[in-house]
Structure 1
Amino acid sequence: MALSGALSDVQNDESSQRTFGTDVENQAADTYLQNTTVQNFAWQNISVTVKDRKTKESKALLDGISGIVRAGEICALIGPSGCGKTTLLNVLAHRDTVPGAKVGGATLVNGVSQSREDFSRISSYVEQEDILIGSLTVRETMSFAARLSDSSGLSKTDRINRIDALLDAFGLRNQQHTLIGTPIRKGISGGQKRRVSVASQLITGPKLLFLDEPTSGLDSAASWEVVSFIKNIAKQNNLIVIASIHQPSSSTFHLFDKTLLLSGGQSYYFGPVPELSLFFESMGYPVPVHFNSAEFVLELMNTDFARNRETTKQLDAMQSTWASSAMSRSISAEIDDVIKRPLDGFMRKTAKGARRAGFSTITTALIHRSFIKSYRDVVAYGIRVAMYMGLAVMMGTVWLRLGSDQEDIQPFINAIFFGSAFMSFMAVAYVPAFLEDRATFIKERQNGLYGAVPFVVSNFIIGLPYLFLIAILFSVVAYWLSGFEPTVEAFFTWIMWLFLDLVAAESLVVLVSSCFPVFVVALALTAFANGLWMSVGGFLVPPKILNVFWYYGFSYIDYQRWVFQGMMVNQFQHQTYSCGSGCNCMYQTELADQCRIAGTGILDQYGYKTGLAGTWVGILIGIIAGYRLLGWLALVFFRK
């Protein structure tokens, strides 16, 4: 009962959350919602059609699906593979379905249709895959879920009490300080991850909970355990739970109150689980003794093997029987009654911003969470630090103690290119860490917790100190071993350029990975972009002779170009080099009569001028801002 009280507090506290609009409107909405619950959730004549790629004809993925679930009930969507379970679940949860699909029908909360934004404030969705941050503990996962969803200014004590109640209810108290688990570090079990996924959504106080294959990958015992926990939570707190289930065991299946049987996008049964067997027996398909009723009807409904006309006729007859049955008519009448007598004004008075914390609160929580992940998860920055330090030692020992003779000029230039270009190229190691962060963001955005701006801002801020640390560590080793300009000012100027180089490279990773959230694709495209920047950056082909297409089309937006020429000026603007014996100078400068080469003459060969460092820094900052802005736009428009 501790959990019941805690979750009731979550739902009641929604009414007192900080909102926008006038105080009078907000207070009225708050007072109304305190006494309001979701009494029922119905869907009527849901249809989803797409255009067949081959025939160009319309193809129905779902056709006239209806049902109703009341507070405290849990409903299972079952059916053979490809029957439309996930599609229906996405429609019911107000999520995107198949691209280009046309969706018809209505979803009703207490008899009233809701906008996607309003609906997201009272519902949560648990993905089939456990999208959890592996480097967080169970308690930390719950804590951050509470912080991201709570804008009511709850005290730390109240938040802890709610988390404790859920940990106890889901049997996770003993694992509260255990990591979720990463590919490198072992964590909790699969069943425990499922429970954490559900519990972290319940902490947000939803009134409707959608679960996509909550028992996927679990054995029958773990499946029963997870569904049993969910059932108890629903009963205690009057939640409505709808879950798609694939081949449930008999014990797990009978935990559900209702079930919707789908096949080929059509409904074949909707009603209480115990009456499923009786209904099919009335059609002449009795469930064998000691046989799992769910497994029996799934085999019966499987259209993948309906190759003959007789089997197709059999399925058509069963669908017709259901459509004309008293139970089906009763469901339709029940939905019609809910529509005729809605809970007037429900959610229409909901104040904007409910279940969403303020920008600063969300951003602070995201930065805190990212900080914990960054120092625990070696994939995020640990491996990169090790790689960069290895690169620093290699560079420093290959270009060891370069001198002031003219034969050292080209090695210096080579070292500058290598240090800047390959440091940015190795930013591809950030791709997997960002993709994990992006997946978490997509899940939390779809559950109505926050938008793209806090995510982009927090992701940018948390990377800065690590990238600055990498720039310093690399420079301390490589700069002095190689024998670059031995002054404090030149050293820290080098660090500045390297830091901007790393920030730009990581921003490129964010942009590409936001547009193409597939590891191999993001990795390949980021590597390709870095190869392009190397080609037009001014080292391999000097800017003076670079093809005009590449120069004007790409060189100006190439961050490596500005870093390279900044480092070149930093190294050569105050240096002179000996022409050696015979005074045969490689570069003709004003110091030729002294048998020396002025560093500015080397810069002239590349067309680089001194005194423009501030301008170049501004251009780099603009490129970084452009990458981040485009990354934000990609996250806004690419919803998945």
Structure 2
Amino acid sequence: MDSLDVEKSGSDYAPLTNHTVRSFSWENVTVSVKDRHTKQPLELLSNVNGIVKAGELMAIMGPSGSGKTTLLNVLAHREATPKATVSQTLSINGVPTTLKDFQKLSSYVEQQDALVGSLTVRETLYFAAKLSLPSSVTKSERISRINSLIAAFGLQGQAEALIGTPIRKGISGGQTRRVSVASQLITSPKILFLDEPTSGLDSAASFEVINFVRDVAKRHKILVIASIHQPSTTTFELFDKLFLLSRGKVAYNGPITGVKNYFGNLGFNMPLYMNPAEYIIQLVNTDFSRDAARSAEQLQMLQTAWTQHEAANPPPQNTPNDGPPLDAELLSDHGSANPFLIPLTLIHRSFIKSYRDVVAYGIRIAMYMGLAIMMGTVWLRLDTDQSNINAFTNAIFFGGAFMSFMAVAYIPAFLEDRHLFIKERHNGLYGPTAFMLANFIIGIPYLFLIAVLFSLIAYWLGNFQPTAQAFWTWVMWLFLDLLAAESLVVLLSSLVPIFVIALAATAFANGLWMSVNGFMVQPETLNVFWRYVFHYIDYQAYVFRGMMVNEFGKRSYGCGSDCRCMYSSELEDVCRIDGRAVLQSYGYGTGEMGKYVGIMIGIVVGYRVLGWVVLYLKKH
């Protein structure tokens, strides 16, 4: 990869542009949902106002359920919460902006680190740069930014280390959070949102992460807004401003240095040696109070006091001296990558993951090889005698059905990819088309390899029709079977992105396809409902048909020593059975293979298109 062969240049993070976003403000932010019990509007946020200026770090704090994440999502132009009614005015340099412009100037770091664990730190930043930097940025500039960010965040010693997977240990939690932040700074955003950046970290790692962010923000005038639960004293003091929420209303919005005096003047003197963040959270938290009425009264007093405070009603920020709010040069410096090259970048990233992360395809290959050995030794060297016709038929059903059923092993890898896609889509990098295209293309060589390796073992051990044409026809049907099965996994996992539910749904679907594919009950005698509603869209039905035709279409079987043939055919006079007689009992002909291959391709494309529709409609 080209970014790995260059010496490190520089240790200081350098922005792409000197143009500055001077302020980001929000007015009258109100979010309401329908209460499930009363069916009346319930306000999650009520007339919230605030402003952050260039180079400042603001901490959004409050007890659980206070509206921190909801506010952060509104400020970042994201969905506040499902089925919510949102009213707000968001402005950059005093002027409202469009979502497209806002995405060019901002980045969002999720609470959960959505990173590819099988990539190194340097590779993670490399792909972040390839996906987000405009085409006007040269290769040398991109490499310089990567090296500068690695140095700025103190990751030189971990640059070639893996992020880490469940199987392979990687960098520490604090270092992972730094990589997450660094990957979002690759585009020189003017506004950076952090959702619980210290979640899961100890106090030392928390301080480390926020300190790095503060250093970069101060030097390059980046606005940082972070929701944070309960930081240590040292971490709390790194922020410039505190935005304190409780039950959707503001209890304080001002400098960190003024917190002690503000609450002291209200009669709430902060105890000596106590963590100020912990103390103020206790003041506005009514969830665990023994005297609920008194706590509610205290909270209302704090909210009213802030409403009447002069800092709660600042003069308008958009003055005539502000100048043009968002000039063309500022937005052009924050363009997007070439959309035609994004799928290639995603394929490149997925390829590295696919051969390093054994969960993606390595474990599946091992599972399929185990299945091939089991199948080949159970149906070992079957003779071409009529007593083995059922055994051949059972083997064909088992091979196709269980190969597709075992595609459930792909669910964890796809859910990880989907999580990363959702994060990058929210940041405006690419949409479901590029993701779905790259996901499909990267799977093709691996699924073909699985089909070939499985067939090399199971086909020849089982003594299926011993010709090269028949072997490769078998491989083709198995390959189409795996393509359809994996496409079904993509559709169901996109629809319900929860591992246990996706697993259950995929298993149920495969059980349904097994039942109606024509083996359990022959198509002609299948119940009309199952036949016309499900059989003709069952990809396993076409795989079973194709493999049956491949085995029995050009083969004959002996009728035994007593010459009593199980199937009547033209070869009965010579004590043999024409395999086409077996096909006739299932209602299968020997022609139209191209038609059924086309139907299989249509099913694969249909699953993928439906998966695309689900991803397009689902924003989270």
Instruction: Determine if the TM-score, normalized by the shorter chain, exceeds 0.5.
Output: yes
Q: TM-score range by the shorter chain?
A: over 0.9
In structure 2, the gaps of 5 or more residues are: 1-8
Equivalent residue number for residue 285 of structure 2: 302
1:93-104 equivalent positions in 2, closer than 5 A: 93-104=76-87
2:262 counterpart letter in structure 1: F
Q: Displacement of 1:349 after TM fit?
A: 8.6
1:355 Cα deviation after fit: 3.3
Paired AA for residue 239 in structure 2: F
Return the letter of the residue paired with 2:601.
I
Give the whole-Å Cα distance in 2 for the aligned partners of 1:205 and 1:147: 14
Does the alignment pair 1:327 with 2:316?
Answer: no
Q: Which amino acid aligns with 2:491?
A: L
Q: Tell whether the 8 Å contact from 1:204 to 1:355 is kept in structure 2 after alignment.
A: no
- Residue 8 of structure 1 is matched in structure 2 by 15
**Deviation string, structure 1 residues 83-141 (Cα, Å, up to 9, x no partner):** 11011000000111211111112111111212222211211111111111111111111
Asked if 1:244 is matched to 2:224, the reply is no
Instruction: Specify whether residues 194 and 72 from structure 1 end up closer, same or farther in structure 2 by C-alpha distance, changes over 3 A only.
Output: same
Deviation digits for residues 328-359 of structure 1, max 9, x if unmatched?
Answer: 123xx1xx232776643526898799532123
Change in CA separation of 1:51 and 1:252 when aligned onto 2, cut-off 3 Å: same
- Say if 1:446 and 1:532 are closer, same or farther in 2 by CA, change over 3 A: same
Between the aligned partners of 2:154 and 2:374, the Cα distance in structure 1 is: 51
1:223 corresponds to which of 206, 210, 215: 206
Summarize the Cα distance change of 1:6–1:172 in structure 2 as closer, same or farther, 3 Å threshold.
closer
- Aligned twin of 2:161: 178
Deviations 1:120-169 (A, max 9, x none): 12111111111111111111111100000023243332211111111111
Structure 2: distance between partners of 1:258 and 1:409:
78
CA RMSD of aligned residues (A): 1.6
SS at match of 1:242: strand
Decide whether the 8 Å contact of 2:12 with 2:152 is kept in 1: no
Q: Contact conserved, 2:13 with 2:152, CA < 8 A, in 1?
A: no
Residues 250 and 351 of structure 1: CA distance in aligned 2, closer, same or farther (over 3 Å): closer
How far 1:62 sits from its partner (Å)? 0.6
Whether 2:611 is the aligned partner of 1:611: answer no
* Residue in 2 that maps onto 1:127: 110
**Residues 339 and 90 (structure 1 numbering): CA distance in 2 closer, same or farther, change over 3 Å?**
farther
Aligned to 1:292: 275
Query: How is 1:111-190 mapped onto 2 (pairs within 5 angstroms)?
Result: 111-190=94-173
State the partner residue of 1:69: 52
> Structure 1 residue aligned with 2:252, among 266, 269, 283?
269
- Label 1:628 to 1:233 Cα distance change in 2 as closer, same or farther (>3 A): same
Q: Would the alpha carbon gap of residues 505 and 339 (structure 1) be closer, same or farther in structure 2, given more than 3 Å must change?
A: farther
Find the residue that maps to 1:133 and give its secondary structure: coil
- 1:369 aligns to 2:349 (yes or no): yes
* Paired positions, count: 611
Report the counterpart of residue 299 of structure 2 in structure 1.
315
Equivalent residues of 1:111, 1:341 under 8 A apart: no
The Cα of 1:206 is off from its aligned counterpart by 1.1
Output the CA distance in 1 between the equivalents of 2:230 and 2:516.
57
CA distance in 1 between counterparts of 2:325 and 2:235 reads: 37
What amino acid is aligned across from residue 492 of structure 2 in structure 1? V
2:407 to 415, 427, 435: 427
Cα distance in 1 for partners of 2:586, 2:216 equals 70
Q: Summarize the Cα distance change of 1:342–1:96 in structure 2 as closer, same or farther, 3 Å threshold.
A: farther
Native 8 Å contact 1:6 1:161 kept in 2: no
Deviations 1:398-447 (A, max 9, x none): 00011111011110000000110000000000000000000000000001
Q: Secondary structure at the match of 1:49?
A: strand
Aligned partner of 1:587 in structure 2 is: 567
Look up the equivalent residue of 2:294 and give its one-letter code. E
Partner of 2:374: 394
| Whole-Å separation in 2 of the counterparts to 1:611 and 1:340 | 79
The 1:339–1:406 alpha-carbon spacing in structure 2 relative to 1, beyond 3 Å, is: farther
CA deviations 1:435-473 (Å, max 9, x no partner) are 000000000000111111111000000000000000000
TM-score (norm 1): 0.93
Normalising to structure 2: TM-score of the pair?
A: 0.96
The residue aligned with 2:73 is 90
Distance 1:156 1:347 in 2: 26
Task: Write the distance in 1 (CA, Å) between the matches of 2:417 and 2:566.
Answer: 52
**Aligned-partner residue type, residue 305 of structure 2:** T
Task: Find out whether 1:572 has 2:560 as its counterpart.
Answer: no
1:601 is displaced (CA, Å) by 0.8
Q: In the alignment, does 2:473 pair up with 1:490?
A: no
- Provide the C-alpha distance between the structure 2 equivalents of 1:557 and 1:348, rounded to a whole number of angstroms: 52
Deviation at 1:278, TM superposition (A): 0.8
Give the SS at the match of 1:68. strand
| Paired residue secondary structure (2:554) | coil
Cα distance, 1:488 vs structure 2? 0.5
Distance in 2 between residues matched to 1:589 and 1:103, nearest whole Å: 74
Distance 1:406 1:313 in 2: 87
Task: From the superposition, tell whether residues 256 and 173 of structure 1 become closer, same or farther in structure 2 (CA, over 3 Å).
Answer: same
Q: Check whether the contact 1:3–1:169 (CA below 8 A) recurs between aligned residues.
A: no
Deviation (angstroms), 1:393:
0.4
Contact 1:7 1:203 survives alignment (8 Å): no
1:558 maps onto 2:542 in alignment: no
Tell me which amino acid in the other structure corresponds to 1:337: Q
Task: Please identify runs of 4+ aligned residues in structure 1 that moved more than 6 A.
Answer: 2-5, 347-353
SS in 2 for 1:270: strand
Q: Is the 8 A contact 2:346 2:438 kept in 1?
A: yes
Q: Helix, strand or coil for the counterpart of 1:304? A: coil
Partner of residue 488, structure 2: 508
- Match of 1:7, SS state, is coil
> Unaligned 5+ residue runs, structure 1?
13-34
The yes-or-no answer on 1:79 pairing with 2:72 is no
Q: 1:279 to 1:426 in 2, by over 3 A?
A: same
Q: Is 1:626 paired with 2:612?
A: no
